[in-house]
A and B are shown apart, each in its own frame.
Chain A
Amino acid sequence: MTVLSAGSPPRSRGTELKPRHRRKWTGWGFVGPFAVVFLFVLVAPIAYAIYLSLFQDKLIGGNKFAGLANYTQALTDPQFWTGFGRVSLFLVVQVPVMLLLALGASLAIDSARLHWTPLYRLSIFLPYAVPSVVGALMWGFLYGTQFGLVGDLDSWFHTNLPNVLQSTTWILPAIGNIVTWEFVGYNMLIFYSALQVIPGELYEAAELDNASAWRIIWHIKLPALRPAILIATVFSIIGSFQLFAEPSVLYPIATNAIGSAFTPNLYAYNLAFNAQEYNYSATIAIVMGVLTVIVAYVVQRVGQRNQGA
């Protein structure tokens, strides 16, 4: 790992210096600026959102304390749960597909059996540099029949491909494809980086045993990849639950298929900006945040337990 081995000589891993008394608070001088901004942009908004979620703004009676009424409303809100179900479905299908593709690509790149390896590594990673807005714009055009690819395919092969942008069934896979395109290379590089730090002696030993390439993958590479796979899974889960940019950019060309509550994030956005329901929007954001943290935590625990076994 380049970062961690950057300093030259081997040395003791003493983390902290034994502080002399007068230096006891010096550390705060360094951590302080970060901590202040952190409180302002992370802790304060959460606290304010919790505060807002406990109130309701009624036409009659104005702003009134409402206890947990907003939460009861959220937990029984079919629009919220439909959106949640949609991102869960997305997560269950798109994340494994993307991670398996990334895994395959990283093993191929690491195998040394590929011609022009760096070309593949860079090209597949390149879409990650594309802002999600531009990614969704491009794919939105490509899906279109006007001057996109689908129109051309239809005229070449005399087919009548479905217009994914007008179909409630196809819009989710269409978005899944965009997200996969954006992130497969990123995950591939995470896996590839983990493969790079496998000690060469392991491969030498395998070579002496005449182990096949598949056995090397199964017994050396995959076990070494487990922490990286776990991290990538957790990040991808968080990413799926946050789905916003792609449906929001596609919305003008796929209005009917997407609607205002396609994902919980889009719903919270529309509640705040189109319906002016700030209190309820804050509640949705909190509920979604809590659900995300719970799912991410559970996946991580399960993953770590399996690793120990």
Chain B
Amino acid sequence: MAVTERAPSAARRSARPARNSRKAWNPNKRRKSPMLTAVMTLGLIYALLPLFWLLVNASKTQGNLFSTNALWFGGHFALFDNIKATLTYGDGQFLRWFGNTLLYVVVGAGGATFLSTVAGYGLAKFDFPGKRGVLAVVLGAAAIPSTILVVPTFLMFSKIGLVNTPWAIIIPSLINPFGLYLMWIFSRDAIPKELLEAARVDGAKEWRIFFSISLRLLRPGMITVLLFAVVATWNNYFLPLIMLNKPSLYPLTVGLYQWNALSQTAGGTPIFNLVLTGSLLTVVPIMIVFLVMQRYWQSGLAAGSVKQ
């Protein structure tokens, strides 16, 4: 798989800075254990087997899916035919869903990152009436399971006519309490207050200071928040499933679900090869994003797990 081949080199690049934290005690000198490696290989097989299966089966014709060995390529190598069929099926539905997903990701995740950054900065760098209340409410909200909110949000959105519009997906994606928390911590630590004070003495307006000075210093934190938000929006399923019943608005996840449900019901059209190829095409872009940006990943996880 193209994705896994990239993995080791990408990993090596980002593993380097982490090592530095333990300069003196050099872990690389330790004896390698074949036993441990063997056990972890089982874990690796467990993690990769379904993805390998997906690649293998996305390259089979529908007939060969049923007649050949599930774990190896069999019969005609049909991956490219399948991709073509996936992209053209139902007047190019899949491409439409892909475009919708991109729209929801760009506006939803991008907006979430922007709102979190601005608000996190505001909380970290200003004192204002009600600040403690804002912090308490937002951090408390992080504990509310988001899917619990989905049905109530649907009921409210259907009352005000937002259901079956892109806004029904985008607006709820804009709030990311974890992102706010991260940007709050990050702003507090990454922007020296002397810098802000100097700018203020020069008479710069607060928003100008933010856009011309602070934003640049906040960039690494923003990328981390953006990455988390992109993954969450790309994989979003419950919310669009509920909010949308027009196939022209579906994101990829809901579209694939519908194709599969259609294939499985008696009397439906079996398009298993398209479900599998579509799944593969959904997974590959987000995996590439992951592998390319894994440095930011780790820093976000570290911030979330160490600071309580």
Contacts A30-B118, A112-B28; is A129 near B39 (CB within 8 Å)?
no
A130 in contact with B283 (CB, 8 Å): yes
CA of A19 to CA of B287, assembled, Å = 45
B297 in contact with A189 (CB, 8 Å): yes
Contact residues in A for B77 (Cβ distance below 8 Å): none
Contact residues in B for A265 (Cβ distance below 8 Å): 147-148, 238
Contacts A113-B30, A114-B36; is A282 near B149 (CB within 8 Å)?
no
Least CB distance, A269 to chain B, in whole angstroms: 7
Contacts A29-B206, A33-B118; is A45 near B156 (CB within 8 Å)?
yes
Q: Which of A59-67, A89-97, A287-295 makes up part of the contact surface?
A: A287-295
Q: Mark B140-180, 1 if CB is under 8 A from A, else 0.
A: 01011111110111111001000000000001101100001
B51 in contact with A19 (CB, 8 Å): no
Contact residues in B for A281 (Cβ distance below 8 Å): 151, 155
Kindly state whether residue B224 has any CB partner on chain A within 8 Å. Answer: yes
Contacts A126-B290, A181-B46, A242-B145; is A148 near B305 (CB within 8 Å)?
no
Least CB distance, B33 to chain A, in whole angstroms: 4
Most buried by A among B129, B154, B272: B154
Contact residues in B for A24 (Cβ distance below 8 Å): 127-129
Contact residues in A for B217 (Cβ distance below 8 Å): 7
CA of A184 to CA of B307, assembled, Å = 21
* Chain A interface residue bracket vs B: 35 or more
Kindly state whether residue B204 has any CB partner on chain A within 8 Å. Answer: no
Kindly state whether residue B294 has any CB partner on chain A within 8 Å. Answer: yes
Q: Mark A89-130, 1 if CB is under 8 A from B, else 0.
A: 000000000000100010011011111111111111111111
Contact residues in B for A52 (Cβ distance below 8 Å): 152, 155
Contacts A118-B15, A134-B279; is A129 near B265 (CB within 8 Å)?
no
Kindly state whether residue A170 has any CB partner on chain B within 8 Å. Answer: no
Contact residues in A for B57 (Cβ distance below 8 Å): 141, 147
Contacts A1-B299, A52-B155; is A40 near B235 (CB within 8 Å)?
no
Interface positions, chain B 37-64, Cβ under 8 Å from A, are: 37, 39-40, 43-44, 46-48, 50-51, 53-54, 57
A16 in contact with B50 (CB, 8 Å): no
Least CB distance, A304 to chain B, in whole angstroms: 8
Contacts A48-B152, A131-B283, A200-B24; is A4 near B70 (CB within 8 Å)?
no
Name which residue of chain A comes closest to B72, CB basis: A152
User: Which of A34, A124, A149, A244 contacts B118, CB < 8 Å?
Assistant: A34
A15 in contact with B119 (CB, 8 Å): no
Least CB distance, A110 to chain B, in whole angstroms: 8
Most buried by A among B121, B238, B306: B306
A37 in contact with B175 (CB, 8 Å): yes
Name which residue of chain A comes closest to B268, CB basis: A252
B190 in contact with A6 (CB, 8 Å): yes
Q: A184-B43, A197-B306, A244-B147 are in contact. List 7 more A-B contacts (CB 8 A).
A: A4-B185, A117-B15, A131-B286, A189-B298, A204-B24, A252-B261, A288-B148
Question: B-contacting residues of A (Cβ < 8 Å)?
Answer: 1-4, 6-7, 9, 11-19, 23-31, 33-35, 37-38, 40-42, 44-46, 48-49, 52, 101, 105, 108-109, 111-135, 137-139, 141-142, 146-149, 151-152, 181, 184-185, 189-194, 196-197, 200-201, 203-204, 207, 227-228, 230-232, 238, 241-242, 244-245, 248-249, 252-253, 265, 268-269, 272-273, 278, 281-282, 285-286, 288-289, 292-293, 296-297
Shortest Cβ-Cβ A-B pairs, 10 listed: A30-B122, A118-B11, A27-B126, A112-B27, A27-B128, A49-B152, A34-B119, A2-B299, A193-B302, A131-B235
5 A-B contacts (beta carbon < 8 Å):
A24-B128, A25-B128, A126-B7, A139-B50, A196-B21
